Structure 1
Amino acid sequence: MNSDPRARMPDAPLSDNERLKGESNYLYGEIAADLDDGITGGFNGDDFQLIRFHGMYEQDDRDVRAQRQAAKLEPLKNVMMRCRLPGGIITPKQWLGIDEFATAHTLYGSIRLTTRQTFQFHGVLKHDIKPMHQWLHQLGLDSIATAGDINRNVLCTSNPVESSLHREAYEWACRISEHLLPRTHAYADIWLDGEKVLSSEQAAPLSEGASDDAVEPINGKTYLPRKFKTALVIPPLNDVDLHANDLNFVAIGEAGQLVGFNVLVGGGLSIDHGNERTFPNTAKDFGFIPVEQVLRCAEAVVTTQRDWGNRSDRKNARTRYTLQRVGVDVFKEEVERRQGFKFAASRAYELSERGDHIGWVRGEDGCWHLTLFVENGRLLDYPDRPLKTGMRELARIHKGDFRLTANQNVIVAGVQPEDKDEIERVARKFRLIDDGITEQRKNSMACVAFPTCPLAMAESERFLSGFIDQVDMLMAQYGLAQEHIILRVTGCPNNCGRALLAEIGLIGKAIGRYNLYVGGNRAGTRIPRLFRENITVDEVLVILQQWIARWAQERNSAEAFGDFAIRVGIVKPVLDAAVDFWDADKVSV
């Protein structure tokens, strides 16, 4: 651990999470014994938090909470499990396996695609938790480190066109994921009865600055101060929202080959309503590294944050707050010291768009790729849209792979030309292709929220579809039916739906009430600003009607809504969120 006085935290008691991590015996806790406790459907004491490092959150069905309480019953406790799926690639065989488990062993029967480019099971009861992990293992999957104070699922741009560049970037996403995993055997011992998994077979860390802890040389006995997110971006597509991540590698290609990455550090979006010590922020550019130095760099950034991050105040524990406290240059210098080399000047690149290209595109290898729009990422059989069955039927005939996107969609990738018509026929039969979906709906997104998320303050996923119906009517009313606004809704300020990188974002404040943000851009490089706080949906729609009417009449040619909002002064741009994100004087009246 470096003793640079600039990195020292003021004397303050450690958060209780630091105690429980330190006392957990490297994430074992009492989880194994807790599984045999039939008195409760949940987990006791520290295990409630520790299961997160194993990829699960304890939840309950909030729709029936009051009813069960009135009947003097415990809440309907269950877990949400999030798979580790670096780069979002899954085989058809694996898909059939997760479909079978979701159908037979979850309360809701659905598969939920997430903004972290993976899938979640919702509603797994206690007696099915260990079988679930064993089921995943048989499929070649796991849920290690997809939650908790650790590096989470590593994202990678789902570029289906530049196949050689995507293949190299995806391979690095997998290598980063494996390298930063916990080394403890807790996952294997608790869930797999000791059967080996990749996390127990990792090589020694590469760089100076790693912990001298024999079990966890990178993460240390108490792991990271807070969650840590990593992404690989292939310009010009910013489909993984790089500024939502602590660590980003922007792929730089030459003649179709990957030569290295620009490294950006300290992005993140979670805030705390009304707490001006919290803020979202864009990631800071550290410079360029050659491709062979990726693991060394990733480890150096993670261990610097491990040693310098705030372990007293969890609301100020993410990497962006460490950069604010010690200074970007100081943090960068420490990373360079630990990785053993200096960053070169960043290479030029441009980010121009974020959304997925719904429909067919042909790759440079001659294969076809079909991106299917999945509203809110929820794959379930609805009366008129048997989406889950449709994906099952595609998995039975598809010879390539599936790519889950960070926008909650799925790509049927690597379709041979002779198979294209059959894939389309099946997709249309089960309404996985719907020509009536508007551009606005394709570019809108929500987190899960009610009824399963314990943090939700307002509806999000269940709210979005009807809300977009109304936004679509406004767009059509003003002649903008073929246009779109990047619009996102989250049920709480943790921002799983990435509303704080949208052109218009809604963040739940209470049931039926939201904070309204505006002023992000299409490329995903600008944070929007709070416009109105704690307003009803009807009030939101009145404001949106005024804005859309103005946009239709006053926009410059092809001007995106977020840029229009800044140009005409609806809000002033957020230039440095650490300084001016909460500045109410920069909002028009």
Structure 2
Amino acid sequence: MPSKPAPLSEDEALKESSDYLRGTIAQSLADAATGAMAPQDAKLLKFHGSYQQDDRDLRNERQRQKLEPAYGYLIRLRIPGGVLSPQQWLQLDELAHRYAAPSLRITTRQTFQFHGVRKRHLKAVMAGLDRVLLDSIAACGDVNRNVVAHNNPYLSPLHQQLHGWSRCLSEHLLPKTRAYQEIWLDGEKLAKPEEEPLYGKTYLPRKFKIGLALPPDNDIDVFAQDLGLIAIAEGSELQGFNVAVGGGMGMTHGDPATYPRLADVVGFCPPQRLLALVETVLAIQRDFGDRSNRKHARFKYTLDDRGLDWFKAELQTRLGWPLEPARPFRFERVGDRYGWMRDPSGLWHTTLAVPSGRLRDTEQTAWLSGLREIARIHEGDFRLTANQNLVIAGIDAANKPRIQALLDRHRIPDPAQWSGLRRQAISCVALPTCGLAMAESERWLPTLLDRLEPLWRQAGLGEEAVNLRVTGCPNGCGRPYLGEIGLVGKSPGRYNLYLGAGFDGGRLNKLYRESQSEDEIVAALAPIIERYARERQAGERFGDFAIRAGYVAAVGAGREFHDRTA
């Protein structure tokens, strides 16, 4: 007898009965007796770009006082390619000051998050976004999320085309439900029955991420995407995209059936066929992804369970045409290029290094105040990067001295003064707001850098770039498994230490030490850094050295990530 299909997860039943993501969100918003949403509405809220959280620094004290948690909400924006006008920037700045931390945080998906928004202010923030043609639709949830792309389209016509594609794909793959407009913008509900022609009533089994990269820069970590599109060009002419499928960073501690995975390149697609390709890949995951076990529901597991040959055959059957053979390409680096650059048209651009992507005013640096003044005189735009940094782009030569003066006046740091270790560092938010965090990340990174940076400089490696990634849990928001040095929270004050990722983003790292304290991490890395400085070969990167020197084995595929014998 054929085996019975696995039962659907609770989340699948919730989506099925949600009336296309409406649920009872409107009723939960109207309940002034609590700062929380009803549990099922809190889950549906993710599809609208928001997470219910609480301040974990206050949790125990509020529990002792028999008060409910200090609920606040994360709101994540949908900003394809990370591009904002000065007018949009000023509106986000105002919303942050009126309703959030106040701060703006650049995420590794090339967008902004507000933190600490109260339930009673959610509609005001959503309406404020809408006034400047922004939204948070599908920034979270089991749908295609914010589409990331190489961060500076002004550098060449190719960059401009990539940004255009990021917007096109994002709009094309948006859910069609009017729930967002009805709930947050007081829009009228349509009289006719609603449909989701691509997603269906239950949407995708899990989140789906798309990114566009332009060699030789892999500044979006294209192999970490469910669907990575690698631009292939001849001169300034875009020929199409190599297609990479099945990337994803998340895993669960102690569960070897979960693991990070890098995307596999499966062929080449010309531009005129790209929309059909992307929609079809999404549909395959919709139809075959695991809907009974959410830990096994990402596209990477669908591919590993069924095989790449199966996927390519299914893709060709649905499309009616095969992918062309992949074309040659080469990535040389991840990360961003800092400082001032001038493009062929004479416009200037400057890339600022933003620690952990957090923009706030402090005694050391007046980020928000400085950028607010710049936005008032800037005639170009602002561009967020997938490495949590910021580009002020399209600056006229006459305006360049004024913008530099404002950067200086507000003490915006010059990344040229930083070590290569600090310039490449990335962290997730973690405590106190993330409910999944097992350890500190953003708040701990400066302390860790203050201890590691002297070792890096003393070894004579000051300008040498190395990818350092820190996250508070194993879900991988900061892409820690692509860090040449990766630290993943295991419990309060303790982290798993990973080594050996590729500097170009093309190889995962591997566990070196488990459940380490800060002192143990520094003690473990100190002799490796010293030896790397002394024994490295010409052009050899830190991750490559960690493998050649025998500290860890190279990871060829996601399923090898947990192999202790390799």
Q: How far did 1:570 drift?
A: 0.9
CA distance in 1, matches of 2:195, 2:182: 15
Partner of 1:48: 42
Q: Give, as a single letter, the amino acid of the residue that structure 2 aligns with 1:568.
A: A
Task: Answer yes or no: is the 8 Å Cα contact 1:160–1:413 preserved in 2.
Answer: no
Out of 402, 416, 439, which is 1:422 matched to? 402
CA distance in 1, matches of 2:261, 2:67: 43
CA distance in 1, matches of 2:312, 2:423: 38
Which shifted more, 454-463 or 435-444?
Answer: 435-444
The reply to whether residue 103 of structure 1 matches residue 97 of structure 2 is yes
The reply to whether residue 230 of structure 1 matches residue 223 of structure 2 is no
Q: How does 1:278-293 map to 2 (within 5 A)?
A: 278-293=258-273
Q: How far did 1:462 drift?
A: 0.2
Q: How far did 1:45 drift?
A: 2.7
CA distance in 1, matches of 2:3, 2:269: 30
Note the alpha carbon deviations across 1:247-272, whole angstroms, 9 max, x for none. Answer: 01111112202121111110011010
Partner of 2:496: 515
Partner of 1:572: 553
Q: How far did 1:394 drift?
A: 1.0
CA distance in 2, matches of 1:278, 1:420: 49
Note the alpha carbon deviations across 1:490-536, whole angstroms, 9 max, x for none. Answer: 00001101110110100000110000100001100000001111111
Q: How far did 1:278 drift?
A: 0.6
Task: Answer yes or no: is the 8 Å Cα contact 2:289–2:302 preserved in 1.
Answer: yes
Task: Answer yes or no: is the 8 Å Cα contact 1:262–1:347 preserved in 2.
Answer: yes
The reply to whether residue 117 of structure 1 matches residue 110 of structure 2 is yes
Task: Answer yes or no: is the 8 Å Cα contact 1:160–1:361 preserved in 2.
Answer: no
CA distance in 2, matches of 1:386, 1:462: 18
Out of 353, 365, 368, which is 1:373 matched to? 353
Regions of 4+ moved over 6 Å: none
Q: How far did 1:355 drift?
A: 1.0
Q: How far did 1:195 drift?
A: 6.8
Task: Answer yes or no: is the 8 Å Cα contact 2:177–2:194 preserved in 1.
Answer: no
CA distance in 1, matches of 2:216, 2:344: 16
Partner of 2:440: 459
- For the aligned residue pairs, the C-alpha RMSD in angstroms reads 1.5
Q: Give, as a single letter, the amino acid of the residue that structure 2 aligns with 1:74.
A: E
Task: Answer yes or no: is the 8 Å Cα contact 1:267–1:282 preserved in 2.
Answer: yes
The two structures have a TM-score, normalised by structure 1, of 0.93
Partner of 1:487: 468
Q: How does 1:262-301 map to 2 (within 5 A)?
A: 262-301=242-281
Out of 302, 325, 344, which is 1:345 matched to? 325
Q: Give, as a single letter, the amino acid of the residue that structure 2 aligns with 1:31.
A: I
Partner of 2:27: 33
Task: Answer yes or no: is the 8 Å Cα contact 1:159–1:234 preserved in 2.
Answer: no
SS at 1:129 equivalent: helix
The reply to whether residue 242 of structure 1 matches residue 212 of structure 2 is no
Partner of 1:170: 163
CA distance in 2, matches of 1:482, 1:229: 32
CA distance in 2, matches of 1:161, 1:299: 28
The reply to whether residue 500 of structure 1 matches residue 481 of structure 2 is yes
Q: How far did 1:436 drift?
A: 2.8
The reply to whether residue 533 of structure 1 matches residue 514 of structure 2 is yes
Structure 1 residues not aligned, in runs of 5+: 1-7, 201-212
CA distance in 2, matches of 1:287, 1:319: 17
SS at 2:30 equivalent: coil
The two structures have a TM-score, normalised by structure 2, of 0.97
The reply to whether residue 186 of structure 1 matches residue 179 of structure 2 is yes
Note the alpha carbon deviations across 1:281-309, whole angstroms, 9 max, x for none. Answer: 11011211110111101100000000000
Q: How far did 1:353 drift?
A: 0.6
Task: Answer yes or no: is the 8 Å Cα contact 1:447–1:497 preserved in 2.
Answer: yes
Q: How far did 1:478 drift?
A: 1.6
SS at 2:373 equivalent: helix
Task: Answer yes or no: is the 8 Å Cα contact 1:309–1:319 preserved in 2.
Answer: yes
Q: Give, as a single letter, the amino acid of the residue that structure 2 aligns with 1:290.
A: P
Partner of 1:438: 419
Note the alpha carbon deviations across 1:299-353, whole angstroms, 9 max, x for none. Answer: 0000000000000111110001000111111112212222232100111111111
CA distance in 1, matches of 2:17, 2:3: 22
Q: How does 1:71-220 map to 2 (within 5 A)?
A: 71-106=65-100, 108-159=101-152, 162-194=155-187, 215-220=195-200
SS at 2:266 equivalent: strand
Partner of 2:389: 409
Structure 2 residues not aligned, in runs of 5+: none
The percent of aligned pairs where both chains have the same amino acid is: 48
Aligned pair count?
A: 562
Structure 2 vs 1, CA of residues 438 and 161 (structure 1 numbering), >3 Å: closer, same or farther? farther
CA distance in 2, matches of 1:161, 1:528: 33
